[in-house]
Amino acid sequence: MTSTVVVLDAARPEGALVDPAVPLVRIDDQGLTRGDGVFETMRAVDGRVQKFEAHYQRLTASARLAQLPVPDAAVYRAAAGLALAHAAPGGEGGLGAEHSVKIVVSRGTPEDGPWSWIAVTPVPESTFRQRREGVDAVLLPRGHDPAQDAGYPWLLPGAKTLSYAVNMAALRHARSLGADEAVFTAEDRRVLEGATSSVICARVREGARTLVTPEPSHGILPGTTQAKIFAAARRDGWELGYGPLYPADLMTADAVWLVSSVRLAVPVRRLDAQPLPVDPQLTRLVTAWVTGDAPAS
């Protein structure tokens, strides 16, 4: 196992390194038995966690909805630093030594209550290959519009919970169809989000350059990567749009990406088996926006 793990619980409130090869989670832990918990996956470069504040804010928002306590930001920062300092060398994809840094907060057991852990893992070559080569995606109906959940806090709208069984099933279904990724659509065919990513497309028409993403506050996960890309694009003079996006909009876009913290911006080269334009120069620009060293466009 190449993960390095720091546990934060009542006995180790500041976090302590543990051996990931020994049992760490009790069999009646509700994170395990019910998917009852919240998490964040962050990217670290050369030992430094990227956009920590945005992730911590979303983690605390998820935890508030799920009524889970979360340690202070400074505690998590130090715990992530401890895990990174002891981690296996980061993956090398041309942007520095990269690790994924996953924070999990579990409901724990009825006796011991909530606890959390941080797992640090080198970014695998498969992620770098997707950044370079892109992916094939299929559109899969979500069954209902998640915007309808917004008024019901018990449906945990917009929370990043551990209950990802549906997202993983969607990915398996996509793979059974010969694709790599799944993109959810609402009943009216509106594009929502990837199984583990946000969707962004670019339109360059008669000198106007626009990035469009589905409205992040309508029941889908508000992506930290999408938010960072949009903030940088705005600074560079791009127009921004917040949907609605339909399949035809993606089919006629100048480029479509699935974006998330560790994958960065992965071009979609086929959607429902139809080829989409891939623009390596635009992908470099979007990647530079998210990694924070964008040249002026």
Three-state secondary structure call for residue 20:
coil
Q: State which residue, 71 or 214, has the beta carbon closest to ligand PLP.
A: 214
**C-beta of 36 vs 193, nearer to ligand PLP:** 193
* DSSP bridge partners of 177: none
> Shortest Cβ contact with ligand PLP: which residue?
225
Amino acid making up residue 226: Q
Q: Which of 29, 36, 136, 193 binds ligand PLP (CB under 6 A)?
A: 193
Coil, helix or strand at residue 223: coil
250 in Cβ contact with 256 (< 8 Å): yes
Told to check if 224 binds ligand PLP by CB under 6 A, we report: yes
63 contact partners, CB below 8 Å, separation of at least 6 = 38, 69, 70, 105
Stretch 9-68 residues interacting with ligand PLP (CB under 6 A): 41
Shortest distance in whole angstroms from residue 157 CB to ligand PLP: 13
Stretch that binds ligand PLP, among 89-97, 148-156, 191-199, 207-215 (CB under 6 A): 191-199
Q: Give the tokens for residue 172.
A: 């398996």
Number of residues that bind ligand PLP (CB under 6 A): 13
CB distance 172 to 182 below 8 Å? no
Q: Considering the complex, state which of residue 109 and residue 119 has its C-beta at the smaller distance from ligand PLP.
A: 119
Q: Which two tokens stand for residue 266?
A: 């992965």
Q: Which of 197, 213, 283, 287 binds ligand PLP (CB under 6 A)?
A: 197
Alpha carbons 240 and 248: distance in angstroms, whole number = 18
**Interacting residues toward ligand PLP by CB under 6 A:** 41, 193, 196-198, 221, 223-226, 259-261
